Chain A
Amino acid sequence: MRLFGSCCMAAVAALSLSSAVIFAQDARPAAPQHPTNGPPKPTGTTPRTPDGHPDLTGVWNGRGDSLTGVPNQLRNSGVIVDDEYSAHDIATGTKIAAFPRPVGSTFGTVATAGNEGERAATLLRRVGSNRPIYKPEYWDEVRRLDDNANEEDPSNRCMPAGVPRGSIPQFIQQTPGYFVFIYPGQGGLIATQTMYRMIPADGRQHTPLQKLDGSFTGEGIAHWEGDTLVVDTWGFHTNTWFDQVGGYFHSENMHTIERFHRDGNTLTWTVTVDDPDVLLQPWTSTPRVAVLNRDPKAMLPEGLPCYERDLELTVTKEHH
């Protein structure tokens, strides 16, 4: 009986051990912690001005989503990496497959053509599904512009990025009657000039569109909707695209509504673009989040000099 008991115990132990081995083999390898490009979590309190509105004043060039301080352009295209095995499209919630990266691998420089350089960048900046819907007669034109961005992108010609492509300004000065936004230029990948906007918030109405000369930044007028600053802008010319990639051209009748919402040390920005001349319906961007530079002595760096590319030397369509 004792022998049988021992046999039984051995069988059960063997069975348990086999199962344990099987399950151990089936288990996914442990994932490193925090492999995500999710937006920064707000910390601290939101300061307010004497009139009770959130105070947006500050240097917003912490790790954030401005045109020049982009921490992760995959998120800018509307995709968030959740963990080593999963990502998702922000606009639809659709899951996107992910796999742990190879040990020791590094992403190439953006100037490196190759598997994990510029070619991957071309794809990564266009993964998200949140795309403006143009009228069908413009579908081929958008593709042509994007495919030929090396030659066609206005930002390759030292022009200001314009509104709303500039997205979140790196500096905001808030007064009771107006705002000043500054967008430092950069001489790198997107060769833009420094751009500034002076935006009244005194209750005035827009100048009739017919009386405005089109400009890069248009005529912006701000007002508060609760704790959200709304900047309503029209009066553009057509020398800009309205998002960072994609060939998204617009007409002189483009009308943008930007929304800025401060939560502690973060500033969330979205824009709705309405352009009935070329778009089938208004388009709203994926939210972008900038982080306040906590250094009380923070200054804006000097914008890098812009150098125009010699487009005649362009030999490939590989692009950003």
Chain B
Amino acid sequence: MMSTKTWTLHISALAVVSMFLCWSVAARAQGTADPTNQLRVLRAAATALGQIRMSDIGMTNPPLPLVDVVTTMEVSGKGTVVIDGKPTNATYTAAFAYIPAAMRVEIKGEGGGNAVHTIQTVREEYAWNESEKGAGLIPGKGTATPAMASAKSRLLQLWILPYGVVKAAIAAGDKTTISTTQGSTVITFPLRGALAGITVTATLDAKNFITKVVTKPDNPAATDLVYEAEYSDYADHGEILTDVKSPGHIVEKLAGKPLLDVRTTKVDANNPYLVFPVPPNVKAAPAQAGSSR
């Protein structure tokens, strides 16, 4: 006969084993932070994009690992861009960099019979609008208007690009989870730094290309941080071939509403000369707290 104490110990042991088994099953269903699987999936995504390359150029001993080679890029396209709530035929050019995180989006179009030309730039915590590229850096040459409240939203556009997804998912470390939804691999990770509090979910296709990216802020009121992007028709679109693959078709929604739908016309993926110095008046502008609006 077992004593009451013995039974208690027995039940406790079974409970521990049961909890452990339940945790294992649940982890597999909800997505896991298994580093081996995470590494395999992120490596596959980065390889599909041509984003990681052997780095021992000019040096053969010792052999070096693959490194992320995407630092700057410029993508141009034509299509529909929503400006002030109105769909507009436009050319769209996004120049961006990841060291430091920066992006300049130039849109030229015709809206309601009027020519539209906007340049929206962000570098880390600074956001501003330029009357021309590089405005405000030299006195008398263009105007740079601080737009600090847009910094998060603009910065987020950089990190939902396929290359940004790979970089940010790797940077998130063991907080990045891999799961399978309807047969597709899904990467989920939290953003860090100024974008902390936003979760990104990226879906891969059978060739490991990132085809869909969705962002979800912890604060449901921050609707300017709710992006949905779809990427398709990946190829090396560069005039200077680099084997870096870019989407030929980009569709973005903001807070569930269409934002842009463009077909790629030109890509410079050869780490072109793109710089984003912050104009002095923007540096001096006060940061705006709270929501990104």
Interface residues of A (CB under 8 A from B): 1, 4, 7-8, 11-12, 14-15, 18-19, 22, 25-28, 32, 34-37, 70-74, 79, 81, 83-85, 87, 89, 92, 94-101, 105, 107, 110, 113-116, 119-129, 131, 133-137, 139, 142-143, 146-147, 246-247, 280, 316-319
Contact = CB atoms under 8 A, between A and B. Distances in A.
Given A72-B57, A98-B66, A246-B273, 18 more contacts: A1-B2, A11-B14, A11-B17, A14-B17, A36-B64, A73-B58, A81-B65, A84-B65, A97-B67, A99-B43, A100-B65, A101-B66, A120-B53, A120-B57, A129-B100, A143-B272, A147-B240, A280-B137
B39 interface: yes
13 contacts: A8-B13, A72-B59, A84-B65, A96-B99, A100-B66, A101-B64, A123-B269, A135-B138, A136-B138, A136-B142, A147-B270, A147-B272, A246-B273
Given A97-B46, A280-B137, A127 B241 contact: no
B39 A28 contact: yes
A120 B69 contact: yes
A95 B171 contact: yes
A320 to B, nearest CB: 10
Given A72-B59, A146-B273, A97 B52 contact: yes
Residue among B69, B142, B269, B274 with max Cβ neighbours from chain A (10 Å): B69
A79 B99 CA distance: 11
Contacts of A115: 50, 53, 243
Contact of A98 (B65, B135, B240, B273): B65
Interface of B: 2, 6, 9-10, 13-14, 16-17, 20, 24, 34-36, 39, 43, 46, 50, 52-60, 62-72, 97, 99-100, 132-135, 137-138, 141-142, 166-167, 170-171, 239-244, 268-275, 277
Contacts of A122: 240, 242, 270-271
A8 B10 contact: yes
Nearest to A134: B275
Q: Which 3 A-B pairs have the closest CB atoms?
A: A136-B134, A126-B271, A72-B59
Given A95-B171, A119-B243, A73 B57 contact: yes
A243 B275 CA distance: 17
A128 B100 CA distance: 10
B167 to A, nearest CB: 7
Contacts of B166: 97
Contact of B273 (A123, A127, A139): A139
A317 B239 CA distance: 7
Contacts of A127: 67, 69, 71, 271
Contacts of A87: 55, 65, 67-68
A107 B59 CA distance: 9
A36 B46 CA distance: 21
Contacts of A316: 241
A113 B228 CA distance: 36
Contact of B133 (A110, A136, A318): A136
Contact of A107 (B14, B56, B239): B56
A96 B271 CA distance: 15
B80 to A, nearest CB: 27
A96 B67 contact: yes
B137 A135 contact: yes
Residue among B46, B63, B135, B239 with max Cβ neighbours from chain A (10 Å): B63
A71 B59 contact: yes
A35 B275 CA distance: 31
Residue among B39, B56, B70, B272 with max Cβ neighbours from chain A (10 Å): B56
A188 to B, nearest CB: 11
A318 B57 contact: no
Given A97-B46, A123-B53, A139 B134 contact: yes
A101 B69 contact: no
A81 B17 CA distance: 43
Nearest to A105: B54
A36 B63 CA distance: 8
A95 B70 CA distance: 13
A81 B55 contact: yes
B56 A123 contact: no
Given A8-B13, A85-B65, A119-B241, A129 B71 contact: yes
